Amino acid sequence: MSGAAPVLSVDNVVKFFGEHQVLRGISLDVAEHQVVTVIGSSGSGKSTLMRCVNLLEVIDDGVIALDGRDITDPRVDPDHVRRRIGVVFQAYNLFPHMNVQDNITLAPRVVHGVPRAAAVERARELLARVGLEDKADEYPDRLSGGQQQRVAIVRALATDPRLLLLDEITSALDPELVGDVLRLVRELAEQGMTILMATHEMGFARQVADHVCFLDQGVVLEQGPPEQVLGDPVEPRTRQFLARIIDAGRL
């Protein structure tokens, strides 16, 4: 595909859960090396959008394209698509029966055919980068939340994904741990990682995001550069949402 095609393009995506239309025509693009954040109140469909992009849910209409190629075509093998996307979930979702190193090296070894020694070396290197080199042999349930989340990020990075999906990765963390995880995301952004991130951390979005999308009632109500969407929103509902967040002391 041409160099101009965005890494991820979501076009008019519709998703129903039974009668309930959660996404009502969502459109957004993430260009290469861009960080796009999705904001919106709880239940607005941020996680659903992420799950649709990763093909964990079948969309009911619209198109999602990765590097210009329609991935919602039923002829496309979802496993091939998922191999190119790294996902970090809000609840970490580490495998409790494997130690940290095995969690990280599982996909490189089993899916991408990386030899064990190389996978381990890369895992150690990534762990060192997030300050967890001494936890490689520890089991997830014995780590703190912030440590678990950093391991989850490393697990997603270990396969060198084309696109990283981060779904409210700090909302289960203590404020003091939030900083560690966000610093890591910022580093990734600086190194040119392409990221789509749902978050409630408006301060972070303002500093790191290239583009902010406000999700409301199943559509992208407002989008643009962070200064505009977060600083001078046009839509009254965006203002309302931001006011509530400011009240909660998070901006």
Ligand X SMILES: Nc1ncnc2c1ncn2[C@@H]1O[C@H](COP(=O)(O)OP(=O)(O)O)[C@@H](O)[C@H]1O
* Residue 51 to residue 47: CA distance in whole angstroms: 6
Min dist. Cβ of residue 24 to ligand X (A): 12
**How far, in Å, CA of 26 to CA of 222, rounded?**
11
Taking CB under 6 A as the criterion, which residues in 18-37 touch ligand X? 22
Pick from 2, 3, 4, 42 the residue near ligand X by CB under 6 A.
42
Q: 63-80 burial, b if ≥16 CB within 10 A, otherwise e?
A: ebbbeeeebbeeeeeeee
d(CA 247, CA 143): 32
Which range, of 45-53, 137-145, 221-229, 235-243, touches ligand X by CB under 6 A? 45-53
Q: How far apart are CA 135 and CA 116, in angstroms?
A: 18
* Binding-site partner at residue 111 among ligand X, another protein, Mg ion, none, CB < 5 to 8 Å by type: none
Give yes or no for a contact between 156 and 87, defined as CB atoms under 8 angstroms apart.
Answer: yes
Which residues share a beta bridge with 11?
63
Residue 199 engages Mg ion in binding (rule: CB under 5 A): no
Number of residues lying near another protein (CB under 8 A):
24
Give least dist CB 22 to ligand X, A. Answer: 4
* Binding of residue 175 to another protein (CB under 8 A): no
Interface residues with another protein (CB under 8 A)? 12, 14, 16, 19-22, 24, 51, 55-58, 60-63, 72-75, 78, 217-218
Interface residues with ligand X (CB under 6 A)? 17, 22, 40, 42-48
